[in-house]
């Protein structure tokens, strides 16, 4: 009789213990990891960056790292990328602090960011974090004003110019002339562009291009106008007059 009661009691205790072991996380909720340090580990030419992150988490939690997300800025706050490192309940009898070091890959290409400097915030609260890394998106192209050597007016009306000059290297390709208006001043801007970071021999690249000032497309009223080619601070050595009847 005593043996039977003992076995029944033992079975009850084992079942009760199994029930508690099956629910190890009922008293635990996800927590934020304590960030210790952050630094850039690698930066590839394709725009994929790897951040090295050191953090501390209880041994009763398993680390969970979110995918980097772009957070839109508001007011004077610039957009930033957020990364959250948390702990997911993993059970355990004795919970002790454990230090981790991991790499977080951040592909800035997928965010289609405009050129500028941005921050990556780790475990931010209200858009703020003591642990952040900065990176810069460079323009895809670099631009320069062409050096104009000669401008010859081939026709009076509409004005037709043949413009000759140089760009600083063969990497620069001549852009289409840009024509803008301000009052009665017409500005013709001749520029060249090259891919950012391009490496070229330091020899100048000559060019010749044609520019036509079309009064109709510029919606010009009758009157006198001044044409400036590649002016600096509103001044140009290549200045022409035009009268629209």
Within 10 Å of residue 194's Cβ, how many Cβ atoms? 19
Mean local confidence (pLDDT), 9-26: 41
Peptide bond into 158 cis (omega under 30): yes
Q: Are 120 and 130 in contact (CB under 8 A)?
A: no
pLDDT of residue 66: 95
Residue 110 has pLDDT above 60, yes or no: yes
Mean local confidence (pLDDT), 156-161: 88
pLDDT of residue 19: 35
Among 61-70, 74-83, 194-203, the range scoring the smallest mean pLDDT is 194-203
Residue 88 has pLDDT above 50, yes or no: yes
pLDDT of residue 25: 40
Identify the CA nearest to 118 among candidates 69, 66, 85. 69
What does residue 150 show for φ and ψ, rounded to 5 degrees?
-160, 140
- Report domain extents, the chain: 28-137, 142-244
State the pairing for strand pair 223-229/205-212: unpaired
- pTM above the 0.85 mark? no
User: What pLDDT, in 10s, does the model give residues 50-68?
Assistant: 999 999 999 999 999 999 9
Mean pLDDT in the chain? Answer: 84
């Amino acid at each position: 009789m005593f043996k039977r009661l003992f076995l029944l009691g033992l079975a009850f205790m084992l079942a009760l213990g199994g029930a508690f072991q099956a629910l190890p996380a009922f008293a635990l909720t996800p927590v934020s990891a304590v960030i210790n340090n952050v630094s850039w580990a690698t930066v590839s030419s394709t725009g994929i960056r790897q951040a090295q992150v050191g953090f501390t988490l209880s041994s009763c939690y398993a680390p969970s790292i979110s995918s980097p997300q772009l957070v839109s800025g508001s007011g004077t706050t610039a957009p930033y990328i957020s990364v959250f490192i948390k702990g997911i309940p993993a059970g355990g009898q004795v919970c002790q602090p454990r230090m981790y070091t991991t790499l977080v890959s951040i592909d800035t290409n997928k965010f289609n960011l405009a050129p500028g400097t941005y921050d990556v915030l780790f475990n931010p609260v209200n858009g703020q974090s003591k642990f952040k890394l900065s990176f810069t998106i460079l323009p895809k192209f670099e631009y320069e004003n062409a050096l104009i050597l000669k401008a010859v007016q081939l026709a009076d009306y509409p004005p037709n110019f043949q413009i000759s000059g140089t760009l600083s290297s063969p990497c620069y390709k001549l852009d289409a002339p840009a024509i803008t208006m301000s009052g009665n001043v017409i500005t013709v801007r001749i520029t060249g562009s090259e891919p950012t970071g391009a490496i070229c021999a330091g020899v100048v690249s000559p060019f010749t291009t044609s520019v036509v000032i079309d009064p109709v497309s510029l919606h010009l009223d009758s009157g006198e106008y001044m044409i400036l080619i590649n002016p600096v601070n509103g001044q140009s050595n290549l200045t022409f007059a035009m009268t629209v009847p």
